[in-house]
Chain A
Amino acid sequence: GEDVEQSLFLSVREGDSSVINCTYTDSSSTYLYWYKQEPGAGLQLLTYIFSNMDMKQDQRLTVLLNKKDKHLSLRIADTQTGDSAIYFCAERWAGRRALTFGSGTRLQVQP
């Protein structure tokens, strides 16, 4: 079975970079995702990476994938107070259309 793990909490100062980490166990993962959830709201897709890629950059967001170690990270440059939210990583593995989510990392950005 699949398992996705994240650290629960991260606190950074405004303007610093944030790095949120995620590990997964299923080597047949095809796509890996990062979602943002603000209080009381649904999930917003931030970015995703195909499993044969090592890195993907989209404006302030950089996703790094180490497939050998099954480690995924999301770096947010110049973190703002509006980035405070819960960030979920998720994987979709071959043969399954639904996503498996990690437990979420609560990012707190201090002014």
Chain B
Amino acid sequence: GAVVSQHPSWVICKSGTSVKIECRSLDFQATTMFWYRQFPKQSLMLMATSNEGSKATYEQGVEKDKFLINHASLTLSTLTVTSAHPEDSSFYICSARDRKKGQETQYFGPGTRLLVL
């Protein structure tokens, strides 16, 4: 089946630093990728939709200057958490839609756990 990877799988950083998380579709091309955030024991909340070659679309309440998204190729989207604070600590999960398949397919990465000290 289709594989989506994320790197790193976990990261610990100091408050005020920036962290970049990569999301890659390994065996398919994805014009659209999605970034979700999951707090402990809670559901996934969509943060933004990443579009290849154009600006990301952010959900209401998500600061685009704090969560920078770049979708430079059909297989890679990056999420950069700028000036991270402890409240940014969370589990970040990306998903990708195979451009050659139907709207119903969306494959999720394994997630990146971020801890900001």
8 Å CB contact of B44 from A44, A48, A92, A101 = A101
Interface bin, chain B: 20 to 34
B42 within 8 A of A: yes
Q: Please, which residue of chain B has its CB at the minimum distance from the CB of A94?
A: B103
Say yes or no: A41-B111 contact (C-beta < 8 A), given A31-B104, A92-B103, A98-B49: yes
Residue interface mask B77-105, A partner, CB < 8 A = 1: 00000000000000001010100000110
8 Å CB contact of A103 from B43, B49, B103 = B43
Residue interface mask A75-111, B partner, CB < 8 A = 1: 0000000000000100010000111111110000000
Complex Cα–Cα for A99 and B43 (A): 12
User: Could you name 20 residue pairs across A and B whose Cβ atoms are closer than 8 Å?
Assistant: A31-B104, A35-B108, A40-B113, A41-B110, A41-B111, A42-B6, A42-B93, A43-B93, A43-B95, A45-B108, A48-B104, A50-B104, A88-B44, A92-B104, A97-B97, A98-B49, A99-B95, A99-B106, A101-B44, A102-B43
**Chain B interface residues toward A at CB < 8 A:** 6, 32, 34, 42-46, 49, 93, 95, 97, 103-104, 106-111, 113
